[in-house]
Structure 1
Amino acid sequence: MQSIHAKLKLTNLFNRQVVEMSALVDTGATFMCVTEEIALQLGFDITEVGRQMVTLADGHQIKVPKIAPIEIAFENRTYVTEAVVLGNEPLLGVIPLEAMDLIIDPRQQALIVNPQHPNYPVALAK
């Protein structure tokens, strides 16, 4: 399967600055990951934010800046969360995917709204 990218809109909920971008849909990532450039465009000073310990794909652990609160928007779905500042490409991880009830459609090779719940997200509670 080829890489799947999704067009997202991120909003800094403190200052309402918005960035529209394409993010790699990464089911191996936990959080939303943004580049330092995107964090700065959203108005965050990454020297003044909290930090999060993350494990990279190669097993190394590093502490990275964490920005919040941000709103992620995709089609008719939004989710308020935090993001880690890491790497050279934005990644959409599994927590926001699950929270917004989004799925990867292998036929279309695209991220889509769950067709079983087209009007609003449904999350598992058990």
Structure 2
Amino acid sequence: AAVHEEELTILVDTGATYSLIPPSLADRLGVSRLPRKQTIILADGRRIEAEVGTVMVRIGDRSAATTVVIAECDEPLLGVEALEALGLAVDPTTGSLRPTRTNTVRLGGVR
């Protein structure tokens, strides 16, 4: 399956460990799923069986591979695992995303 990129507005949910996307979006992006469904515990305590996959998330100049739960939902959610992988956190005073670490990598040769 082809892998595609799509720009979208997504709700950041600091109460969610993993990001959540609907199957229709996963299909459009070409997300490969794990061979078995996983048991996921929802915020209300319910347990569901859902597919899980990996996507690349890019916000600004930062990008990272992150786990996504693939299940029917009203809107996609970006969870804490993705924020940590991107080196971002929610600023509680402004509600905006802020860096938690610098994104600079320096490499040097070894003699």
Bin the TM-score by the shorter chain: 0.7 to 0.9
The one-character-per-residue Cα deviations of 1:66-106 (angstroms, maximum 9, x if unpaired) are 123x1011112111133111212111111111111101123
Q: Among residues 56, 59, 72, which one is paired with 1:71 in the alignment?
A: 56
Q: CA deviation at 1:45?
A: 7.7
Structure-2 change in CA distance of 1:45 and 1:105 (3 Å): closer
Residue aligning to 1:85 = 70
Amino acid at match of 2:83: L
Structure 2: gaps spanning 5 or more residues: 106-111
Residue aligning to 2:2 = 15
Counterpart-to-counterpart distance in 1, 2:13 and 2:104: 22
Residue aligning to 1:119 = 103
TM-score by length of 1: 0.69
Structure 1: gaps spanning 5 or more residues: 1-13, 122-126
Give aligned-pair identity as a percent: 33
TM-score by length of 2: 0.77
Q: The residue matched to 1:18 in structure 2 has which SS?
A: coil
Higher strand share: 1
- Across the two proteins, how many residue pairs are aligned to each other? 104
The CA RMSD measured in Å over matched residues stands at 2.4
Write out the 4+ residue segments of structure 1 that deviate beyond 6 Å after TM superposition: none
Counterpart-to-counterpart distance in 2, 1:62 and 1:100: 27
Which of the two has higher C-alpha Rg?
Answer: 2
